[in-house]
Amino acid sequence: MPSPREPTRRDFLAASAVGLVALARGSESLAQSEESQRDGDLLYVGTYTEGARHHGIYLIRMDRRSGKLRRVGSVNAGANPSFLAIHPNGRTLYAVNELEKHNGRATGAVSAFAIARDTGALTRRDEQPSEGGAPCFVSVDRSGRVVLVANYVGGSIALLPIQADGALAPATQVVQHTGRGPNAERQEAPHAHCIVADPSNRFALAADLGADRVFVYRLDLDGKSLRHVEGGDAVMRSGAGPRHIAFHPTLPLVFVANELDSTVATLRFDAERGALSPRDTRSTLPAGWTGTNYPADIHVAPSGRALYVSNRGHNSIAVFSVAESTGALALEQVISTDGDWPRNFTLDPTGQWLLVANQRSNSIVVFARDQESGRLTPTRQRIALPSPACLRFWRTRV
């Protein structure tokens, strides 16, 4: 396998922000449907925009019987809508605009789009500054009252209240992380990479690649604020570079994809105190492989019996079994993504399929998934899209 050098996020953002100047604004519907059929599950794809390309969110229909994908629309969502989140009621989609500077300020932005109930088409509602450079992750708390954002270059997290119509209010709190790690190129400063609410919706966990730490915050929805829990953080192995996290659906465990040392860490989460404690660490690579690799995304199957991590460089998905009573991980399979740089992936709503976004080879590839063992099987289903970076299925709410 090749051993690519990971370009810095600043290098990539500088190259891809060229097309921002010509961004069209307006209140008209931004999703121009290319096909009228509405059958199949709807997938939103966030991308990095490059050059003069402005349509950065794509709408894809998937046939859940065959896994076949077809493009049905696209959206002018501004520059680099690289990460997406959908409101729990299914009526609003949020996208970061991963920029270091926006409207003359050292910040990126977060955009909100109304979702049409009948078609899933998107119409811009508003945008707000993320209050930090290069926002790379956005999530919605489980009650749908606030948006949480991680600013990578800024090394900060932000909380933005959600208004009654789904639009965003300005950030009510920004927390600047501190800390650094031993990797002089990647950990010279804090680099917040994700933030998500815990299953109780009382806490928010934020992984910081630069600080080698998973921070724990008490989530105050009434006060629209985050309060750091002293003694609650997980201090990761030096140089690990925690990137994304995933909660086990029933056990008090959090799994962390570590970008810089190609591992997945298991943390125990005390939901009463809001405290994390390390339990185990496993490699995401097959034994004996020594090339350059950067894990990216991580997901737990709804059953809790399988865990998946994407490997960029090795260009694979690592499949782990999860012990039912203890949550102990065992590497069962490492399968090629049939593409380059699998930045993000998702399970479809039925759990039958796993879709991978290969960023550098401009493709989304479909794998069949055994719901008992969790193992993956290649299919011939794939679709070409420019620089895919985030996959989100829309689940229609009544």
Query: Interior CA angle at 395 toward 391 and 396, to 5°?
Result: 140
Question: In a 3-state reduction of DSSP, which class is residue 21?
Answer: helix
Contact, 138 vs 92, CB < 8 A? Answer: no
Q: What is the pLDDT of residue 14?
A: 55
The type of residue at 44 is Y
Structure confidence at residue 38 as a pLDDT band (50, 70, 90)? low
Q: Which residue has the tokens 């008490």?
A: 218
Which residue type sits at 375?
R
246-250: which pairs have CB atoms within 8 A and are 24 or more residues apart? 246/298, 246/299, 246/300, 246/307, 247/196, 247/198, 247/199, 247/300, 248/300, 248/304, 248/322, 248/327, 249/300, 249/302, 249/303, 249/304, 250/304
Go through 195-226 and write b for each residue having 16 or more CB atoms within 10 A of its CB, e for each that does not.
Answer: bbbbeeeebbbbbbbbbbbbbbbebebeebeb
pLDDT at residue 40 in the model: 84
**Other Cβ atoms closer than 10 A to 384:** 11
Per-residue pLDDT tens over the stretch 224-260: 999 999 999 999 999 999 999 999 999 999 999 999 9
CA Rg, the chain, in Å? 19
Of the pLDDT bands very low, low, confident and very high (cuts 50, 70, 90), residue 319 is very high
pLDDT classification of 22: cutoffs 50, 70, 90:
very low
Looking at residue 18, its amino acid is V
Output phi, psi for 357, to 5 deg.
-95, 105
Q: What is the pLDDT of residue 395?
A: 80
* Residue 34 confidence (pLDDT) above 60: no
Query: Residue 25: its pLDDT value, please?
Result: 38
Q: Is 60 exceeded by the pLDDT of residue 135?
A: yes
For residues 114, 117, 122, 127, the Cα torsion angle rounded to the nearest 10 degrees is 10
Tens of pLDDT, residues 354-397: 999 999 999 999 999 999 999 999 999 999 999 999 999 998 65
Give the pLDDT score at 234.
98
Read off the pLDDT of residues 46-72 as tens digits, 9 standing for 90 and up: 999 987 778 999 999 999 999 999 999
pLDDT at residue 54, rounded to an integer: 81
* pLDDT given at position 35: 42
Indicate if the pLDDT at residue 23 is higher than 70: no
Query: Residue 215's Cα: distance from chain center in Å?
Result: 17
Average pLDDT over residues 277-285: 98
Percent of the chain clearing pLDDT 70 (strictly above) = 89
Whether the CB-CB separation of 353 and 346 falls below 8 Å is answered with no
347 vs 39, residue with greater confidence:
347
Helices assigned H by DSSP within the chain? 9-16
Rounded distance between C-alpha atoms, residue 60 and residue 82, angstroms: 16
pTM of the model: 0.92
Query: In whole angstroms, what is the distance from residue 356 CA to residue 227 CA?
Result: 35
The average confidence (pLDDT) of the chain is: 92
